[in-house]
Structure 1
Amino acid sequence: MGRCGLLLALLLAGGLVLGLPAGAPAQTASAQTASAAAAPSGYRDTRADDGRTVPAYLPSTDPDRVVRVFSVTFWARQGERRSVTADVIARQPATTPDSALMAAVSVSCSPTGGGVASAGATQNLVRGSGARFTPRFVYDVPRTGMVGCVLVATGLRPRPVASGYASANRWYVDAGSSLSVSQPLGWWARSLETDARSRVLGRGQSWSPIQVVTRVDPAGTAFTVTSDHKVTTCSSVGGSRDASTAGRELCADRVETTGSRVRSVVTAVQLDRRGDPCARPQEFSTLRRVTPTIHHAMVFSQGVVRVSRSAACRPVFRISGRLEQVGGADLVIHAPSERTTILSH
């Protein structure tokens, strides 16, 4: 099971994901979660529920080591679409016994109803350094009533050392981190995931795990596309399996300690009534180097797509996200973590 999936399973088992009753009346200010402020732009929580210190004592995930960091509750109607965004500034102290710790965060909303209801991020941190995670998705409210969204964090020890106290291995969610939920979006906003299996890319190979033809706001002039991926460089065998690999480590027999370079390319093509391109393709890309020390990394991409008002064009786009291995060691693309989101600009 992948880290994100394991986190969600632990949450459900421990009751941390809020299951709130349907049909509840709209909240008053006093009924809202104290740490989640309501604003015209939506809801935002910046005050940690259970603290900002995330233990990384163990080589495997334990329910007692899952820290609930932020949470938001709100009343919503069935069919509303809300943008859910976490912004996590992760920092590993310079004094940890282990040189590297795995930091993982997961944001999820309940009730669930078949659409995308979670997103996560995982990366190895290095002693004295940090990283920024922005897991995000559009949540399609499955029924009228109360909704709960929660951000949790956990830590692991990918390279334990014999000396030092294991309890000193911890990372922090720094000030400036938050969990936000927007006001209702347009009917066409959506997030996509894939049921494909993870795969490993050799040098020069590419893969498009998510491709879709979708309608956008007919009155809009632009929209935003985000494309988020979890990748693992084959600097070691460990960590190259997930919920889709049936227990197989995809880096087996592929280990190379050079690190990898990966490019994420998102392409949007507007279509006419026949389904043919009616305007020039629009692309945006992100290049990331994954070092052997980092091993796991997130590639977060975002771009603005312009909508042509030509009479030949419809407000319909073919959107695809492609990952390219452009140098170094073979690279695993973790399919369960794939998220592509389309929303207003």
Structure 2
Amino acid sequence: MLGLLAGLLAVVPWGAAPASAATRSDVTSAWLTPRAGANEAGPRVRLGYLKVQAPGTYSATLSAQVTDNSRDAVQIASVSLLCKENSGDEDRIGTSANVFRGETFAMGTRVYFSVKDHGACFAYGSTMGLKTTSASLSSRRVRVRATLTVSGPVSSATRESKRFVYDDASRAYSGRSSLAKPHAFTHAAELQTAARRGSKAYVTGNTYLTTCISDGGSRDQTTNGRYLCTPGVIKHGEAGSLVRLRLVVRQYTPGGSVCETTIVPGSTTQKRISARRHHLPVAVKGAVTLPDNSRCGTKVRAWTEVQVLDGPAVVVHFPNTVTAYRPT
């Protein structure tokens, strides 16, 4: 059975793999072409493929530069990453963003995955026009340069928040997307693990966000067809939402009381999700040393904190929002 640990990569680059890890990369340039009709994704294009030949826990990263020199004023570009056992179940994590004519936009995906024998990682990309046009499909293509990297082994004690977890035969999601309301502190993608006080870890948080400047894009596989941007929270305007994200790690006493709360150094960032951008994947990361407080036990929780500083509420999309904790 495949165990996947995943996160989103946006404009924040990921740290380098440990020196002891073996690293392989596949670099590809490709065209992504929308379909003739609006709001319908074009063909999925493979952007990379790497085999995993030995058991263990690995890190896979897909980083892409999407350049839109097409006739469309804006297209939605999507990238995804799938890692699997050769004979096991598949799972995929990805992200999308509006990309504007004349722009080069960085996006991507990261996955921690475990294999008992051997397997492979696949990277894909696609694009979708937002409006119909008479322009030929060849003049509506966008260019993507992608790098798929697999490195490892990494610590088998790596943990992540749950995503794409099905809890019954109907494959209903056990988690749901939610709203981060203005000025509130929203705990996104919380995980629980065990770690010794004074130990070190590499922590990543990845969110896929939609600003509530309209109802569009505020529903996904987890919302049962409902738009989360309802009329009561929608605020029109090009300014969109200003969002602060940071990683938080909390230790507990053996009795369950809060012992220490640490903001992961270097993880705090602010992003503006304009009305035109509308959707935005954001990645934050940092290395942390847990306080060596003798009152603390081994129970640790970590999460990505989302706070809307200005503008309308923001949808935090559960399927593509995760936090990962990797001991170092």
Please state which band the TM-score falls in when normalised by the shorter chain: 0.7 to 0.9
Q: Distance in 2 between matches of 1:53 and 1:257?
A: 33
Give unmatched runs, 5+ long, in structure 1.
1-38
Alignment of 1:41 onto 2:21: yes
Q: How big is each residue's C-alpha offset from its partner over 1:309-330, in whole Å with a ceiling of 9 and x where there is no partner?
A: 4544445422122212221133
Give percent identity, aligned residues only. 24
The one of 35, 38, 43 equivalent to 1:65 is 43
What CA RMSD, in Å, does the superposition of the two structures yield over aligned residues?
2.7
Equivalent-residue separation in structure 2 for 1:203 and 1:309 (angstroms): 35
1:155 equivalent to 2:131? Answer no
2:150 paired with 1:178: no
Partner amino acid, structure 1, of 2:291:
S
- Counterpart of 2:285? 302
Give, in angstroms, the shift of residue 41 of structure 1. 2.8
- Give the counterpart letter for 2:252 in structure 1: L
Secondary structure in 2 matching 1:65: coil
Question: Paired residue for 2:58?
Answer: 82
The match for 2:274 among 272, 291, 299 is: 291
Deviation at 1:165, TM superposition (A): 2.7
**Residue in 2 that maps onto 1:92:** 68
By percentage of residues, which structure has more strand? Answer: 2
Q: Which residue of 2 aligns with 1:9?
A: none
Map of 1:210 onto structure 2:
189
- Matched residue type, 1:212: L
Question: Which one of 306, 309, 324 corresponds to residue 326 of structure 1?
Answer: 309
Asked whether the equivalents of residues 214 and 316 of structure 1 are also in contact (C-alpha less than 8 Å), the reply is yes
Cα drift, residue 270 of structure 1: 2.7
Q: TM-score, normalised by structure 2?
A: 0.80
1-structure distance, mates of 2:297, 2:91: 29
Partner letter of residue 53 of structure 2?
W
* Residue number in structure 1 paired with 2:180: 201
Query: Which residue number in structure 1 is paired with residue 14 of structure 2?
Result: none
On the 8 A contact 1:261/1:327 being kept in 2, the answer is yes
Q: Rate the CA distance shift 1:139–1:105 in 2: closer, same or farther, 3 A.
A: same
Q: Distance in 2 between matches of 1:262 and 1:114?
A: 38
Q: Distance in 1 between matches of 2:81 and 2:192?
A: 27
Partner residue in 1 for 2:205 = 227
CA distance in 1, matches of 2:271, 2:197: 35
Q: Match of 2:111? A: 137
Letter in structure 2 aligned against 1:210: A
Is residue 118–residue 137 contact of structure 1 (8 Å, CA) maintained in 2?
no
Alignment partner, residue 264 of structure 1: 245
Identify the residue that residue 13 of structure 2 maps to in structure 1.
none
Residue 220 and residue 44 in structure 1: after superposition, are their counterparts in 2 closer, same or farther (change >3 A)?
Answer: farther
**Cα distance change of structure 1 residues 117 and 215 upon mapping to structure 2, 3 Å threshold:** farther
The one-letter code matched in structure 2 to 1:154 is S
2:27 and 2:148 in contact (8 A); partners too: no
Partner of 1:246: 224
Greater relative contact order, per chain length (Cα 8 Å cut-off, separation 6+)? 2
Q: Count residues with an aligned counterpart.
A: 294
> What is aligned with 1:123?
97
Structure with greater helix percent = 1
Q: Counterparts of 2:63 and 2:224 in 1: how far apart (Å)? A: 31
